[in-house]
Structure 1
Amino acid sequence: MKFETVAFVAADGQPAQTALNRLRHRYGHTPPEKADVIVALGGDGFMLECLHRHIDRKVPIYGMNRGTVGFLMNVYSEEGLMERLERAEAVQLHPLRMQTLTMNGEEHEALAINEVSLLRETRQAAKIRISIDGKMRMEELVCDGVLVATPAGSTAYNLSAHGPIVPMGAGVLALTPISAFRPRRWRGALLSHKVTVEFSILEGAKRPVSAVADYTEVRDVARVTVREARDKALSLLFDPEHNLEERIIAEQFLP
């Protein structure tokens, strides 16, 4: 890919801000809303912010790690950046669309690139009913919560909750319980990316639950519907020798 203009954006941390100044001085800078490509400097959290901020522009984003984890980022280097951008391979992601109905009848909608998670709000465990494409699959899950993760998000909160790592292009989503109490041995499920998942909150007044799409939270939900947003497409750029598909495979063989 050939890019004529590049925008540099950075997280607030000192390493990211230092890199921002050096790269803008060396390569120039175009405002993000006008650039052909955006270079994001920071960690995975900042990358998520960038993806959400530019989700309607369909502009490719190339991350360089100036944060901590950096699973979605490339190795940082100031040398040969334009050549790296030209060689980079694009990975297309579709976010999840979360639609919620609260206990007082309010409706909300948000997009999630990593996962949609339902979490208990108080000391009492949540009770959640799960339906897939209109068919009830679990009458009552007693738990701290439950989440639906995309392949890109399967190595984030989903992995911490002992969910499976999902390869890019597998066409599946991970449905993973968080500290399930009943049924105790249920470890979750892999679902087609085309399904609609509906969570109904049982005893919501006594056992309130919040729903979170990445960093958008809706509290005291009564019903949450999750489906892939096929009308939204995100393009991430990765160096050929260290792309996202390779990272997901490698993560499964870590000690």
Structure 2
Amino acid sequence: MTAALFGADDGRDLPHDLAGRIAFHAASTDEAAIARARLTSRYGDAPLEDAAVIVALGGDGTMLEIQHRQLGRDMPVYGMNRGSVGFLMNVYREDDLVERLRAALATTVHPLRMRATTPDGEVHSAPAINEVSLLRETRQAAKIRILVDDKERLPELICDGILVATPAGSTAYNLSAHGPIVPIGADLLPMTPISAFRPRRWRGALLPSSARVTFEILEAPKRPVAAVADYTEIRDVRRVDICEDRKLNLTMLFDPDHGLSERIIAEQFTV
């Protein structure tokens, strides 16, 4: 969902003195640190608990980091690229920051929720803003049974791994694994195999965002598999359940002429 963040219709007007309500978060690079110093000297730097908006300086990893830290608060985050790819970031510019924030469009994203079960029956839960991926741990290919909404869809996938991505994450690891790019408002989750061996021609699936996905690890002692939700890794899993966590809202802000939906469309025509 994309909408004007601080318009009259949504009841979330910015305070008049926005410069005192901006919190800055920078990556641990010299470029990001210099940018933060320059910006805070002009606009101030509010404590997170007092801020109306967070400005993240870095790359996409920085955006994911601050969103993870703010899970459950639905704090709007406006990123400016001081990293490499910066797909989730706006163009860096020091001037007119307050005006850019006031004009920004908000995109709401729901993360995935991973529940990974280990051999002792312990369940590990973690959110994923980009994707949940399963990866083989040794030279042996993984064997994985796939269920969707408790119905078996693939009795055995032999592969290096498999992932389920959010629309926002569909241009990250999912795209590198030749998965489809999904527009933000499509309510779809791409499921993409990683180096599938059998069935050789299976390229994955597009699932409704309401789907509940289960991966069961076959021959697990011989073919161990790790499950990763963004940067939370659980090794030697036996079963992984994935669904969209509709209780959590993540709000990302984008300049009107360069919103996330537009970037996703444009990326599909990049050669």
Same-fold status (TM-score > 0.5):
yes
What's 1:98 paired with? 114
Deviation at 1:141, TM superposition (A): 0.1
Deviation at 1:104, TM superposition (A): 2.5
Instruction: Determine helix, strand or coil for the equivalent of 1:22.
Output: helix
Partner Cα distance (2:50, 2:214) in 1: 39
Is 1:49–2:49 an aligned residue pair?
no
Instruction: Determine helix, strand or coil for the equivalent of 1:75.
Output: coil
Q: Which runs of 5+ in 2 are unaligned?
A: 1-5, 7-13
Any idea what the Cα deviations from partners look like across 1:185-228, whole Å, max 9, x if unmatched?
00000000001000000000000000000000000000000000
What's 1:128 paired with? 144
Contact 1:198 1:224 in 2 (8 A): yes
What's 1:226 paired with? 242
TM-score, normalised to structure 2, is 0.93
Partner Cα distance (2:171, 2:48) in 1: 28
Letter of the aligned partner of 1:252 in structure 2? Q
What's 1:34 paired with? 50
Which residue of the other structure, out of 187, 200, 208, is the alignment partner of 1:171? Answer: 187
Letter of the aligned partner of 1:122 in structure 2? T
What's 1:144 paired with? 160
Partner Cα distance (1:107, 1:162) in 2: 30
Is 1:239–2:252 an aligned residue pair?
no
Partner Cα distance (1:116, 1:105) in 2: 20
Instruction: Determine helix, strand or coil for the equivalent of 1:24.
Output: helix
Contact 1:171 1:193 in 2 (8 A): yes
Partner Cα distance (1:106, 1:208) in 2: 16
Instruction: Determine helix, strand or coil for the equivalent of 1:99.
Output: strand
Deviation at 1:34, TM superposition (A): 1.7
Of Structure 1 and Structure 2, the greater helix share is in: 2
Is 1:183–2:203 an aligned residue pair?
no
Letter of the aligned partner of 1:32 in structure 2? L
Partner Cα distance (2:50, 2:128) in 1: 25
Equivalenced residue count is 255
Is 1:213–2:232 an aligned residue pair?
no
Partner Cα distance (2:171, 2:125) in 1: 24
Deviation at 1:33, TM superposition (A): 2.3
Partner Cα distance (1:33, 1:71) in 2: 27
Letter of the aligned partner of 2:168 in structure 1? A
TM-score, normalised to structure 1, is 0.99
Letter of the aligned partner of 1:23 in structure 2? L
Any idea what the Cα deviations from partners look like across 1:222-253, whole Å, max 9, x if unmatched?
00000000000000000000010000000000
Any idea what the Cα deviations from partners look like across 1:55-79, whole Å, max 9, x if unmatched?
1111100000000010000000000
Deviation at 1:121, TM superposition (A): 0.2
Any idea what the Cα deviations from partners look like across 1:70-90, whole Å, max 9, x if unmatched?
000000000000000000000
What's 2:11 paired with? none
Partner Cα distance (1:51, 1:244) in 2: 16
Deviation at 1:129, TM superposition (A): 0.1
